[in-house]
């Protein structure tokens, strides 16, 4: 099967390598030469532009940042559409508004393709292992056509409905939870520090109790060691909580906690922390209150 | 060992029964005749007032609702203090402000007792099994004296420091997380419903992904079945998020997410939902937007 992967970032590279391992004929597409070279070294083919994908590509995975990039990668002047075989499966994997997911799927259907609204989660490590989670919506024919691709990149494929848009909806709601959980993890850790709790003891108690979340456990571990290299950056949640509040506004639906968390990530971005690991939204509280963070001393030593 | 338990509510009854099973001589104290009768049937002794506890009680577990009740149970006109043996261990287990925990411990020390600031978590089921978590702070002598009690009621005892107050601090920070996690679980589920997601599918995706929290998994399961009988009531979080914002204000520390969640539980209380299960804070969004909740149809059938 001739497969294209547009976007060789941390998730796209993992998916592309997983497809190679599954024995498919994979062409990766990324404007960055380093990403193309890495994928060629792994045994794949690579092109700089979606318009240069092999003619007759039968399945396409679009793993770019947002709806605008997805639109451009498919339908732009250098887009992939003319290179696709009729009836190709097209997986739209970026986190985007449900309306955007529906519009993209409609255009693909009109062009004779089989669209899947298929946002993913799991992070870079899971992507490398072919163990992503896919929150997918689309017709049975699209799922059938995409089956070898889904099998190669994911261990869990949720079939959320026939209508494109519901995959995007579930992903956006998921990001609401993820974003608020990160921000409140930071709020709680920061308050605990100011109140005199030992940060590690607080972490140990919370992670063994009913106040735990996946994000508290994962992100506050990084805050405890002062490791702010981004696995997922503050700016991702500026964007994703923006999608949450846009979707909510379009539905005339109040989301007070998501809106508050959005303000906190926006504050972290304003402080110049946008490319830091998202758990370091805690630096907003540090800036307001002057608390010392666990990794500060070591970081100071490095300077 | 002669032990007293003040407060035979869901947690106190569980602790008192666990102490009985451990072979200690236990007197429970509760103004409600039904609670006393239940404990007597289980093999214990029971009194209506703390002032009627056996003379020479060597360890006391105070499992009432708040600091004011704890103060009254110990130092009030019908309080336990005159009944305690010198050097008795006194476990103050209610969730309260750190300042209140420190004040109570100081009074107990002045009276020659060994105080432990020892808030608990785990819920009624864990209390019955003797499997609570205790977030404890106090001197080594207090921990030593209380050892048989702690062993009987808890499987996990955190020793958070020598100074009373730090147990209360960690518990209050834990409740910040717990309260915000419940409120945001409701916000996300409500938004998903309005956006057209299937509530059960949304639950399944979130609980298998990075957006999960202990509270989302536990409380939204009840929302899915429409079971609003309180294991933990909305009013508990009106109270506990009140403690969070009071502690934060005393420290001049901003807690925007906790403050927002407090408003949402307050709204649920205002709607007459204070004694419903805390996950049903989701009815605030229902009232604002008219969404249908999963259990509504069945509930309607019952009427």
Residue A301 has pLDDT above 60, yes or no: no
For residue A297, what pLDDT is reported?
Answer: 66
Q: Which chain B residues are Cβ-neighbours of A258 within 8 angstroms?
A: 184, 187
DSSP, res A213:
B
Residue of A nearest to B173 (CA): A188
> Chain A closest CA to B252's CA: distance in Å?
8
For residue A299, what pLDDT is reported?
Answer: 47
> What are the tens digits of pLDDT across the range A223-252?
999 999 998 899 999 999 999 999 999 999
For residues A60-96, b (16+ Cβ closer than 10 Å) or e, as one string? bbbbbebbebbbebbeeeebbbebbbeebbbbbbbbb
- Please give the Cα distance from B87 to B276 (Å, whole number): 41
Q: What is the DSSP string of A3-58?
A: EEEE--SHHHHHHHHHHHHTT-EEEEE-S-HHHHHHHHHTT-EEESSGGGSPTTEE
- Mean pLDDT for A266-291 is 98
> What are the tens digits of pLDDT across the range A14-30?
999 999 999 999 999 99
User: Which residue in the list A126, A145, A156, A171 is annotated as catalytic?
Assistant: A171
- Please give the Cα distance from A115 to A162 (Å, whole number): 11
B250: contact with A, CB 8 A cutoff: no
A7: contact with B, CB 8 A cutoff: no
Residue A303 has pLDDT above 50, yes or no: no
Tell me whether residues A123 and B210 touch, CB distance under 8 A: yes
Task: Give which of B188, B193, B246 is closest to B213, Cα–Cα.
Answer: B188
For residue A139, what pLDDT is reported?
Answer: 97
B279: contact with A, CB 8 A cutoff: no
The minimal CB distance from B177 to the residues A98, A172, A206 is found for A206
Instruction: Place B297 in a pLDDT band, splitting at 50, 70 and 90.
Output: low
- Please give the Cα distance from B169 to A76 (Å, whole number): 56
Find the angle CA(B239)-CA(B240)-CA(B243) to the nearest 5 degrees. Answer: 95
User: Domain spans of chain B?
Assistant: 2-164, 169-302
Q: Which residues of B does the annotation mark as catalytic?
A: 171
Q: B253 Cβ partners below 8 Å, 6+ apart?
A: A190, A191, A194, A195, A285, A289
- The first and second tokens of residue A297, run together, are 């001393």
Q: Which chain B residues are Cβ-neighbours of A185 within 8 angstroms?
A: 177
- Please give the Cα distance from B122 to B120 (Å, whole number): 7
The minimal CB distance from B253 to the residues A121, A161, A191 is found for A191
- The first and second tokens of residue A152, run together, are 């190669």
> What are the tens digits of pLDDT across the range A82-134?
999 999 999 999 999 999 999 999 999 999 999 999 999 988 889 999 999 99
Q: What percent of chain A has pLDDT over 70?
A: 98
- Please give the Cα distance from B26 to B34 (Å, whole number): 17
Q: Which chain A residues are Cβ-neighbours of B121 within 8 angstroms?
A: 209-210
- Mean pLDDT for B129-134 is 95
Residue to mutate among A178, A191, A287, with most B CBs inside 10 A, is A191
Residue of A nearest to B291 (CA): A253
CA atoms within 13 A on the CB side of A83: 27
Instruction: Place B40 in a pLDDT band, splitting at 50, 70 and 90.
Output: very high
Tell me whether residues B213 and A181 touch, CB distance under 8 A: yes
A51: contact with B, CB 8 A cutoff: no
Task: Give which of A257, A207, A230, A178 is closest to B133, Cα–Cα.
Answer: A207
Residue of B nearest to A213 (CA): B213
Instruction: Place B299 in a pLDDT band, splitting at 50, 70 and 90.
Output: very low
Q: What is the DSSP string of B224-257?
A: HHT----SSBHHHHHHHHHHHHHHHHHTT---HH
DSSP, res B84:
E
Domain B169-302 maps to which CATH number in 1.10.260.40, 1.10.760.10, 3.50.50.60, 1.10.1040.10? 1.10.1040.10
The minimal CB distance from B260 to the residues A247, A253, A260 is found for A260
The minimal CB distance from B156 to the residues A180, A208, A210 is found for A208
> CATH code for A168-295?
1.10.1040.10
Q: Return the axis-axis angle of helices B214-225 and B199-207, rounded to nearest 10°.
A: 160
- Mean pLDDT for A161-173 is 97
The minimal CB distance from A197 to the residues B133, B173, B289 is found for B173
Instruction: Place B300 in a pLDDT band, splitting at 50, 70 and 90.
Output: very low
- The first and second tokens of residue A142, run together, are 């699209």
A2-163: what fold? Rossmann fold (3.40.50)
Average pLDDT value for chain A: 96
Residues 172-231 of A with CB under 8 A from B: 172-178, 180-181, 183-185, 187-188, 190-192, 194-198, 201-202, 204-206, 208-216, 218
> CATH code for B2-164?
3.40.50.720
Sign for the pseudo-dihedral over CA of B106, B111, B115, B121: negative
Largest Cα span, chain A: 64
Instruction: Place B298 in a pLDDT band, splitting at 50, 70 and 90.
Output: low
**Residues pairing with A6 in the sheet:** A29, A62
B271: contact with A, CB 8 A cutoff: no
- Please give the Cα distance from B186 to B268 (Å, whole number): 12
> What are the tens digits of pLDDT across the range A34-45?
999 999 999 999
Task: Give which of A85, A205, A65 is closest to B177, Cα–Cα.
Answer: A205
Tell me whether residues B188 and A177 touch, CB distance under 8 A: yes
Task: Give which of A131, A115, A9 is closest to A65, Cα–Cα.
Answer: A9
For residue A300, what pLDDT is reported?
Answer: 43
- Please give the Cα distance from A174 to B67 (Å, whole number): 38
Q: Which chain A residues are Cβ-neighbours of B177 within 8 angstroms?
A: 184-185, 188, 206, 211-213, 216
Residue to mutate among A256, A266, A282, with most B CBs inside 10 A, is A256
> What are the tens digits of pLDDT across the range B189-214?
999 999 999 999 999 999 999 999 99
Residue of A nearest to B185 (CA): A177
Tell me whether residues B177 and A133 touch, CB distance under 8 A: no
Residue of A nearest to B210 (CA): A214
Asked casually if ipTM beats, i.e. exceeds, 0.85, the reply is yes
Sign for the pseudo-dihedral over CA of B157, B162, B163, B166: negative
- Quick count: other Cβ atoms within 10 Å of Cβ B97? 20
The minimal CB distance from A253 to the residues B166, B253, B289 is found for B289
SS3 A102: helix
For residue A122, what pLDDT is reported?
Answer: 85
């Amino acid at each position: 099967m001739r497969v294209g992967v547009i976007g060789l970032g941390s998730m796209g590279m993992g998916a592309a390598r997983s497809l190679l391992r599954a024995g498919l004929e994979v062409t990766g597409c990324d404007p960055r030469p380093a990403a193309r070279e890495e994928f060629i070294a792994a045994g794949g083919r690579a092109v700089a532009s979606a318009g240069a994908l092999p003619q007759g590509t039968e399945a396409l995975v679009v793993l770019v940042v947002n709806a605008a990039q997805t639109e451009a990668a498919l339908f732009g002047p250098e887009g992939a559409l003319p290179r696709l075989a009729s009836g190709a499966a097209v997986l739209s994997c970026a986190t985007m508004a449900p309306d955007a997911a529906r519009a993209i799927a409609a255009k693909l259907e009109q062009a004779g393709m089989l669209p899947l609204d298929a946002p993913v989660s799991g992070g870079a490590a899971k992507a490398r292992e072919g163990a992503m989670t896919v929150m997918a919506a689309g017709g049975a024919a699209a799922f059938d056509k995409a089956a070898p691709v889904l099998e190669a990149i994911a261990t869990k494929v949720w079939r959320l409905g026939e209508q494109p848009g519901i995959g995007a909806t579930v992903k956006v709601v998921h990001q609401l939870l993820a974003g608020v959980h990160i921000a409140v993890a930071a709020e709680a850790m920061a308050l605990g520090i100011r109140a005199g709790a030992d940060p590690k003891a607080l972490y140990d108690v919370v992670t063994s109790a009913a106040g735990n979340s996946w994000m508290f456990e994962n992100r506050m571990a990084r805050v405890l060691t002062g490791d702010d290299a981004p696995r997922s950056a503050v700016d991702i949640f500026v964007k994703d909580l923006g999608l949450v509040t846009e979707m909510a506004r379009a539905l005339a639906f109040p989301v007070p906690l998501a809106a508050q968390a959005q303000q906190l990530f926006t504050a972290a971005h304003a402080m110049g922390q946008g490319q830091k690991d998202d758990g370091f939204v805690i630096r907003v509280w540090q800036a307001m209150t002057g608390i010392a963070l666990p990794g500060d001393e070591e970081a100071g030593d490095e300077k």
